[in-house]
Structure 1
C-alpha cells in the first residue's frame, strides 16, 4: 500500500475507537481483530478522549464503542472534526448524534416514529389519550435516560412529566414518542450494512427483544443488557432501509457501516426507530462471516485513503 500521508512502515495501522470503560473493546468488536491481522492490518483499541493518542499516526480511525460521550456530545463532535481519516466521517457524527435527524428523514419520506420535541427549559403536557409513550433525550444511547409510560396510570403521568422536566432542566432536548407495542412480540429488527466496492452492502440482521419495562429510574453502566438473536430480513424491511440510507446527507457511499433499526408500526409495516451511523453495535457474533466482512470493509476504506 502506498500511503501518501504516512511514512513507510509496513502494515497499515487502524485505531478502533472506544471509551475508558471498554479500553480493550467491547467483546463483539474484538472479533474483527483476527480477520484484520490476517489481512495484514495492525488494529488496536484507542480511547477517544485519551490526550496521548496520536490520531495522525493511524491510516484509519474507526468509531466503535465510545459510549461515554453522551454527556459531552459537543466535546465529542469537536474531537471528531480533529481526527483525520475518521470512519464514519465527522460531519456524519455531528448529524447522527442528535436524534432530531429523524425529522429530516421523515421529511424525505422515510416512515419514522411520530416524535414530539421539547427544548431545554420547555415544559410538556401529556396528551389526553391513555396510550403508552417513550420519553428519552435526543442525545442518548443504550436506553440511558429512557422510560416507558402508560398514561392511563396517574402515577405514570406524573413520572412522565417529571422525566421531561428533569431532562429539560439539564439543558437537554427531549423526544416523546408513542410506544410501538409490536416490539413486545415481534421485537426490533436491526439491519447491518458494511462498505463494499460499490458502496454499502447488506451484511446481516438481528432481532432485539423489548427492553423498556416502565418509567426511567436511572440505569447503571453504559447500556442495558439486550436479548439478541439472528434474524432474516424481509424485502419490505430492506426497502425501508434502502430509502433511509438514500436520505443520508452527503450520501451513504462514504460510510464504513450503518445500522437501521426498525419496528412494525400499527399497520404492521416497518417503521424506522433509529439510524445508527456513529458507534452502533454491529453484532458480529450473530452472523457467520460478519467479522470478515467488516475486516474487508475496513480494508476497502484503507485502500480508498491511499
Structure 2
C-alpha cells in the first residue's frame, strides 16, 4: 500500500466519475470514485495491461490487480512478499491475511498454489463490497471477513496457519495495534511449526518505527529478515519495508540472490546485521505504541 494515485496517470486513466456500488458483479469493472469507510476509493484501469486495475483510497494506492493474470504483481513490496511465499515448501497453504483491499496476494497464492485455503480480514466493509462488485472475489479457497485486525486475530485457532500476512493501512498509516508485542505473540500462536509471518511497514529517515518493530519481532521469533530498497534502508527516502519472521530457518541466501537480481533490487538483511539495525530499540507494546509513520505529502510512490 501507500502509493499516490498519480501512478495511475503514468499507466493511463479513464475519466473519473461518481458511481454508486452494486452488490452484483458487473460484466466489466467501472472506473470511478466510490465512498468507502476510510475515505473515497478510486478504481482506475491500467490501459497498458487491458484488464488490470489500481484501487486507491484518498490518493493512496491500496491494491493493483490483473484480473487476467493474477500472478502479475505490479507493486514492488508485493513482489517481495511473493519471493518469500515462493520459497516455502511446495503445495497449498493455509493463509491468513490481515488487510486485503483487492486481495492481490491472496489471488497470487490461489493461482500459484492451487488448493490453498485463505482468510482475509479487512476493516473497511464498503471497500470489500466495492472490490466484490467491481473486481470479483470468487477466488478458489478464499474467504473475506469484515473485521478489525486485532479482533480477527483473537478468533483464530492456534497452529492453524502456514502463513500470516499483515498489510493493513488506514489513510496511509499502519492500522493500529498490529505491530505490538501482544499482536505479534498472537500471530506466532496462530502459525504452525515452520510457518511464516510477513509484514509490510513504512518508515523514513532513521527508521525509528522499523527499529522498534524489529525489536518486537526479535522478542517472539528466533528468525527474522528484512527486505527493502537500499535507499529506504539507508533512510534516504520514505518507503516500504517487508519483514519475514519464523520459528524455523528462513531462506536468507535464496532471497538475497533473488532480490538482488530483481528489476528493482532490494537488500535482504538478517542475522547480526539486522540485530545491529534494531540496536537498543524497545519493543512496541499496547501500552507503549508510537504513532505509525506517515508519508510526506509530496510523495508520489513507494514502489
TM-score exceeds 0.5: no
User: Looking at CA atoms only, which structure, 1 or 2, has the larger radius of gyration?
Assistant: 1
TM-score by length of 2: 0.31
TM-score by length of 1: 0.31
